[in-house]
Structure 1
């Protein structure tokens, strides 16, 4: 007997499913609201058929009081329904915003720069905004269309047929809107993403654009991208807006048509005068959800596309299982047959790298540009996953650690230093909410930046600005070094840590490397200048992604600095005297 496969609900579906009770409540309120929508029709029917023939003022007053009460109840329920839907959107955002943010952080490490940037967050905003808007209300009211049509038929068959014909036309318009708006809406979103990416890249490289006279050319590219976006957005708006206008006109025509049919029936004494007005109001009410759905179709299409994109993204990047908590590493770093490919690429950058370092060791990684040094250190700290081989701390591969737990034992200073908006203390402490002042100051002193910090305007409470713009490049690099040393990590990886340092900074760097080694840490330093590897005792030479040499610093440097007449492409090493030798 074949067993039917279990269909697992998506994360978005599960988050929305958690709001099931809220949707049930909205459905119940929609039921009551739609029954209360009959108030106007029934009021007019009673006025024309009872009050006017009898000329009874008390009856009129009673109907007015009753109608007013029903309208007030309808208004209260409408407000409650809209607030519940708004809170459903908020609950969905609260359930998924951290998860979506995590995918934004992890995505470039898996597929490289070919990613959608902040689009996942915009997608979540689209879904939340739609759920909190008028669109869902229209969809909750649409199932009541047959109910209103049935009442129209109860008034008279001709009134029902007229309303039914209008409903068929408007529903057909809804389907046409869906078909015609899907592609323009998708194109508009893609064009908006490209436009925003260009603007973000230009903002990051403002100095280069102005200094080299590129701003005018980039402005032209931006204008072209913006023009295409506006054209695409206009196409989507034209489709939704045009069909929405047609639907509104048709609904008004239908209302007049029902009045005409009602008048015809009254003339032939097949209906009362009240049915003319009541039927007109009721038919308009029956088709109002269709009209509202068409008016909000653009936001519905955008939310649906965002929903599908988020589902695909979250499926591609599932939640990582929480690994077993391991002991803090304290003895060894080992690299076994490592091969590295950049995220989103297929070319092997580093291959067949094998070495081991024990506690207290310092490794200098040298080699020409493009030899794979930065790629290697990215794998050492776990931000790039090797295609072959393993990086192990005390025998445990890095993938046996969660990134948060591994990060406590790793200090990393990348080539491109970027600080986050906040204070100096927050950046040094990696925004640890439980950071103690003693730990922050200890890291700053180990990096040799304590004196520099206390001379700032507000000391450790100085705001560094967005991306550290309030600091010089050298100051930012030295603070990033303190951040890497914070918490006494076991593995410290520094990628060209002295690229923006002066002599004082170079000396502080060397002292920091030696101090970390003395307390038992393993330090890996990528350097193009000899001062960067003064504090290490081991050297690894890379060329074309392969190990050329590994061993004690003096031995390896003596080998690679030795003249090689037959070598086709010798590695350039800068000696302590600053003279380039091959």
Structure 2
């Protein structure tokens, strides 16, 4: 989707802010770049040993037929080239570590910003690229292209030496280098937009393919394999066609530059030979000039050859900067000591991004310790949006949510996640064992707490019957578990940190069999401990522990009150609607 002028201006401002923050976070990396530049200086000065060796051989050794001089020169050059190789090796290692340090310096900040971006822009997947962008930049620093960038500033030195040999040689090298640089700039101008578009199309095709594979049960069961393939194929072919066009454009420039470089090398040798014939240049200087020409243009050719990688890294860095600029680092929230399960929701409105219609609007209620609230309403009423808002996930357009009189925004995010247990309507898991998922991916799960949470959720016996009990690996997104098993494990995960507030979004599968009794016991125990619960449901069986009910319809609050009173009014209203005679039958 093309951006408006206003959006582009915002993105540019975010990139500038993000670059400043990246520069601050990467202070150590910047110091390492100074060392890389010093290494580049030694390498490029030592490169001159080759042309100087040829100059001495042709102009002094051969005319004098001096073998000792040749041996001494050779040993000196061999030592210098060995030193150059060691320094070049050290520079490569340092660049690889710069890439790693770049990733380490930004990974936490980028990870947090990507999570915030995903909570706000739920319909976009730009945040999904952030971690991949870190890898793109890291690989760029470890590539030969990064080293070539540090060698480019030394090209004028070689041109200066050529001017010392003869002005015509310097002029030829300068004209050739300027032409290559102009071609490089033209390559960037022509291909950058196409490369960005190709990246977007590749992401679109990849996301589409991943979506089909994630929902393989639906695809196979409903016979969507052919239609799914055609849709993915169309997206993939569009990205490939765009990539081919971009490659054709850049390839034509690269081929022209390679041919030009070979022509310049030959022209330098031919011009040198002419000057030798005219008595204006020695044979040694002719050979040395040819070598210097090749060396001066080598970084340019290498940089051009890695132009695509450089572009991808530049675009990735800009995307990272835009992400960081759009979501400044938040101050670490407070970790309040033993807050009470006292919840106050004041006129909250949630409006999805790029939408004029509010998902929920002006919702207000309160909850005291030891209480449970049932939230009911038809499909699309806004129950799940409200549940996510209470977890501080959905971005609120207005209104305030307070837990123990403290706004949710003032809590540390991880601490808030421990205070609030959340069972989403759509349950997902991560690669790992059952215990690791219940422990919320803690590196060292507290098994006593894991088992206690599973027992409270009524999942303990079910887990013990699994092939490896709590050590049973969970496959991709829990595909090996039944829907009820998924909800039981997810409820155990919600209870792992003994939360003071429990939010259950459509826990209908927990009501089957003896699950209903377990759910009621768990809610009763939670309230007895001074906790509170909110249950989003349309199942009467899930409301038995709820003292009050909130009714939502099309995102609006229709009723709030004691459970029995609200249900009686709803039944009476529904009965009245059924017995009212139709207008066309009044005759």
Same fold (TM over 0.5): yes
1:399 aligns with 2:409: yes
Write the mapping of 1:415-426 to structure 2, written as runs, cut at 5 A.
415-426=425-436
Match of 2:29 among 12, 19, 24: 19
Shift of 1:288: 1.1
For residues 515-558 of structure 1, the C-alpha deviation after alignment (integer angstroms, 9 at most, x for no partner) is: 21121110111112222222222222222222222222222222
2:276 corresponds to 1:266: yes
SS of the residue 2:366 aligns to:
strand
Conserved 8 A contact 1:149-1:286: yes
| Structure 1 residue ranges without an equivalent (≥5) | 1-5, 571-582
Per-residue CA distance 1:365-408 (angstroms, 9 max, x = gap): 11111111111121122112332222111111111112111111
Distance 1:236 1:152 in 2: 37
Determine which of 100, 104, 114 is the counterpart of 1:104.
Answer: 114
8 Å CA contact 1:152, 1:159 repeated in 2: yes
CA deviations 1:133-161 (Å, max 9, x no partner) are 11221121111111111111111122112
Which segment is superposed worse, 100-109 or 268-277? Answer: 100-109
Give the Å deviation of 1:35: 0.7
Tell me, what secondary structure is at the counterpart of 2:126?
coil
Residue 171 of structure 1 deviates from its aligned partner by: 1.4
Query: Which residue of structure 2 aligns with residue 285 of structure 1?
Result: 295
Matched, 1:448 2:458: yes
- 2 CA distance for matches of 1:353 and 1:279? 79
Residue matched to 1:342: 352
Q: CA 1:31/1:169 → structure 2, altered by over 3 Å: closer, same or farther?
A: same
1:371 pairs with 2:381: yes
For 1:91-115, what per-residue CA distance to the aligned partner results, in whole angstroms no more than 9, with x for missing partners? 1111112222223322221122123
Of the structure 1 ranges 299-308 and 319-328, higher mean CA displacement relative to structure 2 is found in 319-328
Q: What CA distance in whole angstroms lies between the structure 1 residues aligned with 2:387 and 2:283?
A: 86
Which residue in the other structure is 1:194 paired with? 204
Instruction: Spell out the pairing of 1:170-209 with structure 2 (5 A cutoff).
Output: 170-209=180-219
Q: More helix per residue: 1 or 2?
A: 2
Measure, in 1, the Cα distance between the counterparts of 2:494 and 2:204.
Answer: 34
Q: Which residue of 1 aligns with 2:165?
A: 155
Change (3 A) 1:510 1:176: same
Aligned to 1:580: none
1:385 aligns with 2:401: no
Length-normalised TM-score, structure 2: 0.92
Alignment of 1:45-64 (within 5 A): 45-64=55-74
1:287 to partner: Cα distance: 1.2
State the Cα distance separating 1:259 from its structure 2 match.
Answer: 1.1
How far apart, in 1, do the equivalents of 2:241 and 2:27 lie?
Answer: 38
1:66-81 mapped onto 2 (5 Å cutoff): 66-81=76-91
State how 1:489-568 maps to structure 2 within 5 Å. 489-499=499-509, 502-564=512-574, 567=577
User: Would you say the 8 A contact 1:364–1:527 is kept in 2?
Assistant: yes
Distance 2:207 2:399 in 1: 35
Matches within 5 A, 1:429-444: 429-433=439-443, 435-444=445-454
Which residue is 2:9 aligned to?
Answer: none
User: How far has the Cα of 1:563 moved from its partner?
Assistant: 4.4
Q: Does structure 1 retain, via aligned residues, the 8 Å contact 2:511–2:542?
A: no
Given the alignment of the two structures, is residue 137 of structure 1 paired with residue 147 of structure 2, yes or no?
yes
The change in CA–CA distance for 1:568 and 1:319 in structure 2 (over 3 A counts) is: farther
Task: Show the counterpart of 2:584.
Answer: none
SS of residue in 2 equivalent to 1:558: helix
User: Structure 2: how far apart are the matches of 1:366 and 1:134?
Assistant: 61
Q: Distance in 2 between matches of 1:209 and 1:435?
A: 36
**How many pairs align?**
565
For structure 2, the residue ranges without an aligned partner over 5 or more in a row are 1-15, 581-587
| Contact 2:115-2:127 at 8 Å conserved across structures | no
- Correspondence for 1:249: 259
In the other structure, the counterpart of 1:315 is 325
- Alpha-carbon deviations, 1:234-261, whole Å to 9, x = none? 2222233332222222112111111111
Matched, 1:39 2:32: no
- Residue 427 of structure 2: SS of its match in structure 1? coil
Q: Does 1:305 align with 2:315?
A: yes
CA distance in 1, matches of 2:18, 2:407: 31
Asked whether the equivalents of residues 463 and 470 of structure 1 are also in contact (C-alpha less than 8 Å), the reply is: no
Structure 1 stretches of 4+ moved >4 Å: 6-9, 563-570
TM-score, normalised with respect to structure 1:
0.93
The reply on whether 1:414 has 2:424 as its aligned counterpart is: yes
CA contact (8 A) 1:116 1:193 kept: no
| 2:481 alignment partner in structure 1 | 471
Distance 1:161 1:401 in 2: 67
Quick check: 229-238 or 450-459, which moved more?
229-238
Report if aligned partners of 1:423, 1:462 keep a CA contact under 8 Å in 2.
Answer: yes
Change in Cα spacing, 1:520 to 1:142, as seen in structure 2 (3 Å) is: same
Give the Cα separation in 2 of the matches to 1:190 and 1:514. 51
RMSD: 2.0
